[in-house]
């Protein structure tokens, strides 16, 4: 019958219309900005820099190695190295950035900088309400605006942060052990006077039961 297909279609739209009042499956919209959906842990919008401790300058993990600057696809990262070095988390002297700028109006949020960073310094932020009426200075973020504490990183990416923290703590323990060994070796050029553990007491080798005893 001509028109039966249209009527069947209307039945479907009616089902969806009625369903949108009782089924979450059919009503998927929410009232933003009053209601908000939680972002997944992996969400990435734009980069930020992680620092340890309380001082954003002393604790900044960035060593100005410029790998992110080289790999950034739209080339929105700009780094100038500082002449003064500072110790990192294992006490090794590292370079630090004098200038670290990201033009987030150019940044496309691909996350490659966070992926290639060998110092766990640059990570992806999840703020997305970034609109501004001012076109230039608002979107050029400097080191001071980019630096965020490690707690912030832990909040955004808990599992990534846990893995990073564990690895850095291990590095620190290793470095401390190495430093202690080096210090001990430097402090004591002559062998220490502590009694050496004696040789293990001699135990006669057990004769295997099935071994033939030589006569």
Partner 1 sequence: MIAIDNDTEVKQELLEVSMGPHHPSTHGVFRMNVLLDGETVVKLKPVFGYLHRNHEKIAETNSYLASIPYTDRLDYICAMTNNWAYTLSVEKLAGIAVPPRAEYIRVIVSELTRLINHSCLAGFLLQDMGALGTPLMYAFREREKILDLFEALTGSRMMHNFMRFGGCRCDLPPGWVDGAKTIVAHFGPFLDEFEALLTGNEILRARTEGVGVLSGALAVSAGVTGPMLRASGVNYDIRKVDAYGAYGKFAFRVPLGQRGDVFDRYMVRILEMRESLKILEQALRELPDGPVIDPKAKLRNLRPKPGEAYGRIESPKGELGFYLISDGGPTPYRFRVRPPSLINVTILEDLCLGHSVADVVVILGSVDIVLGEVDR
Footprint of partner 1 (CB under 8 A)? 2-6, 8-9, 11-13, 15-16, 25-26, 28, 39-44, 67, 70-73, 108-112, 115-116, 124
| CB 54, min distance to partner 1, A | 29
- Work out the angle at residue 110's Cα, subtended by the Cα atoms of residues 107 and 116, and round it to the nearest 5 degrees: 105
| CB 95, min distance to partner 1, A | 19
Decide whether 42 or 132 has the Cβ nearer to partner 1: 42
Q: Which two tokens stand for residue 40?
A: 């997944």
| CB 30, min distance to partner 1, A | 11
Q: What is the Cα 122 distance to its own chain's centre? A: 7
| CB 110, min distance to partner 1, A | 4
Nearest to 104 by CA among 80, 84, 82, 124: 124
**Partners of 80 in beta bridges:** 99
Decide whether 110 or 140 has the Cβ nearer to partner 1: 110
**Partners of 143 in beta bridges:** none
CA distance 95 to 87: 9
Decide whether 106 or 183 has the Cβ nearer to partner 1: 106
């Amino acid at each position: 019958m001509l028109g039966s297909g249209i009527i069947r279609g209307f039945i479907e739209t009616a089902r969806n219309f009625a369903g949108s009042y009782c089924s979450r499956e059919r009503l998927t919209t929410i009232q933003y900005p009053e209601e908000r959906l939680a972002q997944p842990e992996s969400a990435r919008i734009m980069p930020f820099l992680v620092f340890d401790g309380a001082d954003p300058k002393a604790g900044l993990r960035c060593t100005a190695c410029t790998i992110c600057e080289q790999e950034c696809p739209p080339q929105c990262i700009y780094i100038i190295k500082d002449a003064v070095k500072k110790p990192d988390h294992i006490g090794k002297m590292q370079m630090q950035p004098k200038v670290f700028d990201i033009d987030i109006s150019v940044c496309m949020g691909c996350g490659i900088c966070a992926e290639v960073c060998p110092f766990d310094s640059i990570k992806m932020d999840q703020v997305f309400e970034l609109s501004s009426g001012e076109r230039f200075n608002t979107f050029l973020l400097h080191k001071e605006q980019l630096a965020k504490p490690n707690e912030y990183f832990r909040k955004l990416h808990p599992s990534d942060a846990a893995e990073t923290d564990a690895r850095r703590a291990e590095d620190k323990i290793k470095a401390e052990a190495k430093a202690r060994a080096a210090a001990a070796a430097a402090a004591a050029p002559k062998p220490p006077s502590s009694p050496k553990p004696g040789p293990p007491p001699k135990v006669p080798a057990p004769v295997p039961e099935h071994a033939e005893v030589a006569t």
